[in-house]
Amino acid sequence: MKSVALAIQQDERQDIVDFMAGFSLETTPNSAAKIVGFSECVRPETPVYITFLPGSDFDATVALATRLRREGFDPVPHFAARSIPDRGFLERNLDRLRSEANVSRVLLIGGAVPAPLGEFSDSMQLLETGLFDRYGIQKIGLAAHPEGSPDISDEGIRQALQWKNAFAQRTDASLYLVTQFCFEAAPIIAWDKRIQAEGNRLPIHIGIPGLATVKTLMAHAKACGIGASMKFISRQAMNIAKLLTVSAPDKLVADLAAYKARDPSCGIANVHMYPLGGLKKSADWSYAVADGRFDWNRKGDGFEVQAPA
C-alpha cells in the first residue's frame, strides 16, 4: 500500500530547512572516478570534502581537487597528520593545491594509522607549522569527537579542543569543528552543552550519515569507533530483515534542527553529510530536505521526500 505523508507543521519544516541549509558533502578519489560529472548530483554551492584514506597517494587528492575546481566546485581536501612524512611534503602539496586548484579551505585530522609515517602525529602539529596561514588558507576544519575516539583518550580530546580554541586567536584562518557521524541526537546535544561549558567557541559542523543500508551503516560505525549512539543502529541490526533496509537520518535531523532552533546557545553551525551509501543518493535526499520538499510519512517516523518540480 502506498504510504500517505502527514502534513508537517510550517515552523517545524522551516527549522529543518534552515538546519540543512549550506550542508557539505564528501567523496574519495576512487568514488569520484566513477562520477562522469559532479554537476549531475551536486550543486555548485555545495562544498565537497576529499577524504584521505590510510595508504592513499596524495597526488590523487590534488588531482581530484583540481578537477572539482575545474567543474565549478569548492574542494576541501583532508590532510591526515600521521600520513604526512615531513614538513617539506606538507608545504609542496599546499603549494600545489593553492596553485592548481585554488584551495582556500581544508580539513585537518590525525589519521587512522597505528604509527605516524613521519614527524607529525596530530593536527595541532600541522597548525603549528604556520604553513596554512602562509599559503592563504582561509578556513580550517578540525576533527571533533562527540562520542570519543579509539585513538585518543577523553582527557586528550578535551585538552586538544582547549588548544584549538586558543590557537583560533592567533591564526588568520577561521577554525571550525567537523564531527564524525552519529545516529541519535541526545549524545550530540549533551556533548555540545558540555564543551560549551568547558569553553569551546568554535562553530560545529555536525556529521550526519547519509542514506545507506543498516548493514553499511553498522560497518562504518564499527570502523570509526562510534560511541553511545551506536546502540541505536545496533538495535536495528539485530533484526536481520532490516539489515538491507535503507536508513535515512530523518529523526536525527529533525531532533537536531529543533535543538538548534530552540536553544540560542546551540553550537551547531552547519551539517556535513557522509554519503556512506553513495554520493548521489545522499545528495538527492539532502537537497530535497534543504529545499523543503518533504513531509512526515504515514507513521510519522520518517520523511517522504518529493522529486523536484
What are the mean pLDDT values of the chain's consecutive 10-residue runs (309 residues total)? 64 95 97 96 97 94 98 98 97 98 97 90 97 98 87 88 97 96 92 97 96 73 56 52 65 96 97 93 96 90 86
Answer yes or no: is 47 within a domain: yes
Answer yes or no: is 307 within a domain: no
Give me the pLDDT at residue 243, please.
Answer: 44
Answer yes or no: is 233 within a domain: no
| Cell numbers at 82, concatenated | 600521521
CATH number at residue 130: 3.20.20.220
Contacts of 150 (CB under 8 A, 6+ apart): 225
Give me the pLDDT at residue 1, please.
Answer: 41
Provide the angle, in degrees to the nearest 10, between the axes of the packed helices 10-20 and 250-262: 100
- For 245, phi and psi rounded to 5 degrees? -80, 135
Give me the pLDDT at residue 245, please.
Answer: 58
Answer yes or no: is 170 within a domain: yes
Predicted TM-score (pTM) of the model is 0.90
Answer yes or no: is 177 within a domain: yes
Answer yes or no: is 295 within a domain: no
Answer yes or no: is 296 within a domain: no
Cα–Cα distance, 210 to 147 (Å, whole number): 19
- How many domains, in total, are found in the chain? 1
Question: What would the pLDDT profile of 134-188 be if each residue is shown by its tens digit?
Answer: 999 999 999 999 987 777 888 999 999 999 999 999 999 999 999 998 889 999 9
Question: What would the pLDDT profile of 112-137 be if each residue is shown by its tens digit?
Answer: 788 999 999 999 999 999 999 999 99
Answer yes or no: is 271 within a domain: yes
Domain that holds residue 168: 16-211+249-289
Q: What percent of the chain has pLDDT over 70?
A: 88
Cα–Cα distance, 130 to 134 (Å, whole number): 6
**Coil, strand, or helix at residue 207?**
strand
